[in-house]
């Protein structure tokens, strides 16, 4: 759900922060006050076109931030996790454009591309009206909407996986048939490489152990000399530390009988004596273990040289050789399978049959859903002053199929501009498209996943009873989703749970747009203005109270 929109220096807006509520809300105001600017600002934050014309006159840059909760947007959460972006307690989309025309975008403070902004935005908001941020006209969105409404999305995933397996098998078969000699040469090359590395009997851990042992053997003489010297100084020489420390300790122990303050020193020396004894014992054991072994050193050096030579031959680090060996073995296994054309042909046939079986099931489900959805949307359209219109869903065959099935989904319309059905984008005007979108969203609201809907110009060319129907439908949709409607019709605005008024003022020669959240009394005045125009009478106020269901609200 959209919970906050912050706008700075955007077109006519100086500074504006809006707190959104759940359910159905309306945005009203005089013509030219800037209602559409707020929708444009949100579209900008969601990844729409950006240029310097969006920057308020006299400002250095325009900036819009949109904050969302993610409780009802699992697709957005999944997208963020797939892109290793923090979900936190919500999602903040921030977009700005500066005077040079450069645009920047951020998700929860992390810089992203505008394309990434658009991708996550499609799971959050759908703007219906004459705006580019409009999913209804895209065939892929139409297909996804139909599949979601028919609860076919899991089957679509199976079809996509089966398609990929089929195409991979076909690609391997084609490569095998067209390049048997090439594959044989590659197999021979890999076999030689595998033999070379296998002859080393080498693992990643071996390299570390070899280097450690070589270092020890190469410096064995120095180690032996150093240990013997240390033993002489610490415990075995005529003036060894161990003996002298014992002498000092005995003397101080006797003296502590005369001055107890020396007891602490004696105690510390006893600890030092014990640790010194441990150190001497360890050095003696080490001295007995370390010896000169020229043959072992030569063997280790020969082995290291072999590993280094092999690594140079294959242009890699020595510790990468085991990983290369595993990859070459896997590739040899795949080439072994690829050499069996008969087995590959059977695999292609099996994969294709599996795909076609699932795709036919998907087609059947789409045909049934297309008929029922088309009829249901047409019925709602008739309530919206589109009485001659008929909504249809075309399923156009794709030769050879695709990852999404055997057909392309095409939303079509008949009865508005001739009896023949034609693609939605080529028939409907902006206002008609908004109302058709409304009809589709009402019918598919249970299946659609986008939690916030914005309707702009849904009331173009309608009035009276149809306007009341639009208000009822939006109110119904607002029971399940967050809905914001830009409207000039009082019948629509009166159905909203909350209402904002957009006003425009001129200060120091510059126009500014502002938004005010209306209370009950202010809503009465705004609805009355929308009903009666410039002069508001007691009759229009009473009519406004009746529309709002506030007939008992006292006059002010």
What is the mean pLDDT of each successive set of 10 residues along the chain, which is 556 residues long?
Answer: 92 88 90 79 89 88 92 84 80 91 89 90 79 66 88 93 94 78 75 82 70 67 68 73 80 80 82 83 72 66 77 81 83 70 88 96 95 91 81 92 94 75 73 76 70 78 77 86 89 91 80 86 89 79 85 55
Instruction: Tokens 């306007």: give the residue.
Output: 467
Helical residues (DSSP H) of 219-261, grouped into ranges:
220-231, 241-255
**Could you tell me the CA-to-CA distances from 134 to 4, 256, 386, 431 in Å, in that order?**
21, 93, 21, 14
Q: Do 160 and 404 meet the contact criterion of CB atoms below 8 Å apart?
A: yes
Contacts for 492 with CB less than 8 Å, ≥ 6 apart: 26, 458, 459, 467, 470, 471, 474, 485
Contacts for 282 with CB less than 8 Å, ≥ 6 apart: none
Sheet of 13-19: strand order equals 13-19, 2-10, 61-68, 91-98, 103-107, 110-112
Q: Which 8-state DSSP code applies to residue 235?
A: I
Contacts for 13 with CB less than 8 Å, ≥ 6 apart: 7, 34, 37, 38, 41, 56, 512, 513, 514
Q: Report the C-alpha gap between 157 and 404 in whole angstroms.
A: 8
- The pLDDT, as a whole number, for residue 131 is 46
Are β-strands 24-29 and 482-486 bridged in parallel, bridged antiparallel, or unpaired? Answer: parallel
Q: Report the C-alpha gap between 35 and 516 in whole angstroms.
A: 12
Q: What tokens does 196 get? A: 């070379």
Q: Quick one: which H or E segment has residue 209?
A: helix 204-218
Q: Report the C-alpha gap between 131 and 145 in whole angstroms.
A: 19
Q: Do 94 and 105 meet the contact criterion of CB atoms below 8 Å apart?
A: yes
Closest CA to 376 of 328, 314, 425, 446: 446
Q: Identify any residues that bridge with 392 across adjacent strands, giving them in sequence order.
A: 412
Q: Which 8-state DSSP code applies to residue 514?
A: E
pTM metric for this prediction: 0.58
**Could you tell me the CA-to-CA distances from 174 to 166, 179, 335 in Å, in that order?**
12, 8, 13
Closest CA to 41 of 23, 51, 54, 52: 54
- The pLDDT, as a whole number, for residue 450 is 82
Q: Do 345 and 173 meet the contact criterion of CB atoms below 8 Å apart?
A: yes
Q: Which 8-state DSSP code applies to residue 56?
A: P
- The pLDDT, as a whole number, for residue 290 is 61
- Angle between helix 180-198 and helix 153-178 axes, rounded to 10 deg: 90
- The pLDDT, as a whole number, for residue 291 is 63
């Amino acid at each position: 759900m959209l919970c906050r929109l912050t706008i700075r220096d955007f077109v006519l807006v100086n500074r504006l922060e809006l707190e959104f509520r759940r359910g159905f809300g309306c945005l009203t105001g005089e013509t030219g006050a800037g209602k559409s600017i707020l929708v444009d600002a949100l579209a900008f934050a969601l990844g729409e076109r950006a240029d310097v014309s969006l920057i308020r006159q006299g400002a250095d840059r325009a900036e819009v931030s949109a904050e969302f909760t993610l409780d009802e947007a699992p697709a957005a959460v999944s997208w963020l996790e797939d892109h290793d972006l923090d979900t936190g307690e919500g999602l903040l989309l921030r977009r700005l454009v500066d005077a040079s025309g450069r645009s920047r975008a951020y998700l929860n403070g992390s810089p992203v591309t505008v394309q990434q902004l658009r991708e996550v935005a499609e799971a959050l908001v759908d703007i219906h009206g004459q705006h580019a941020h409009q999913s209804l006209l895209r065939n892929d969105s139409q297909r996804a909407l139909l599949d979601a409404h028919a609860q076919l999305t899991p089957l679509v995933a199976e079809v996509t996986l089966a398609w990929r397996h089929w195409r991979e098998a076909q690609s391997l078969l084609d490569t095998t048939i067209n390049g048997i000699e090439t594959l044989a040469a590659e197999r021979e090359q890999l076999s030689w490489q595998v033999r070379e590395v296998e002859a080393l009997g080498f693992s990643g851990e071996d390299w570390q152990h070899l280097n450690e042992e070589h270092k020890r053997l190469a410096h064995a003489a120095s180690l032996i000399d150093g240990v013997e010297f240390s033993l002489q100084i610490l415990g075995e020489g005529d003036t060894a530390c161990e003996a002298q420390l014992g002498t000092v300790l005995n003397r101080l122990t006797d003296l502590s009988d005369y001055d107890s303050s020396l007891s602490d020193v004696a105690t510390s020396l006893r600890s030092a004596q014990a640790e010194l004894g441990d150190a001497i014992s360890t050095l003696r054991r080490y001295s007995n273990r370390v010896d000169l072994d020229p043959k072992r050193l030569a063997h280790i050096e020969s082995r290291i040289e072999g590993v280094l030579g092999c690594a140079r031959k294959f242009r890699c680090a020595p510790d990468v050789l085991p990983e290369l060996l595993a990859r070459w073995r896997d590739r040899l296994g795949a080439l072994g399978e690829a050499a069996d054309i008969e087995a590959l042909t059977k695999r292609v046939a099996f994969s294709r049959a599996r795909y076609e079986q699932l795709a036919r099931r998907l087609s059947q489900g789409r045909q049934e859903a297309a008929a029922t959805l088309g009829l249901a949307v047409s019925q709602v359209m008739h309530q919206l002053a589109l009485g001659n219109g008929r909504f249809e869903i075309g399923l156009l065959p794709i030769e050879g199929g695709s990852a999404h099935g055997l057909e392309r989904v095409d939303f079509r319309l008949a009865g508005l501009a001739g009896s023949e059905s034609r693609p939605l984008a080529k028939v409907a005007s902006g206002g008609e498209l908004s109302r058709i979108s409304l009809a589709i969203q009402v019918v598919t609201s249970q299946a659609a996943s986008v939690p916030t809907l914005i309707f702009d110009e849904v009331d173009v060319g309608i009035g009276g009873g149809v306007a009341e129907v639009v208000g009822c439908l939006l109110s119904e949709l607002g029971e399940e989703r967050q809905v914001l409607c830009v409207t000039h019709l009082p019948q629509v605005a009166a159905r909203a749970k909350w209402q904002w008024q957009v006003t425009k003022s001129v200060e120091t020669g510059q126009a500014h747009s502002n938004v005010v959240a209306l209370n009950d009394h202010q809503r009465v005045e705004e609805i009355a203005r929308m009903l009666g125009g410039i002069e508001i009478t007691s009759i229009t106020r009473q009519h406004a109270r009746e529309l709002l269901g506030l007939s008992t609200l006292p006059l002010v």
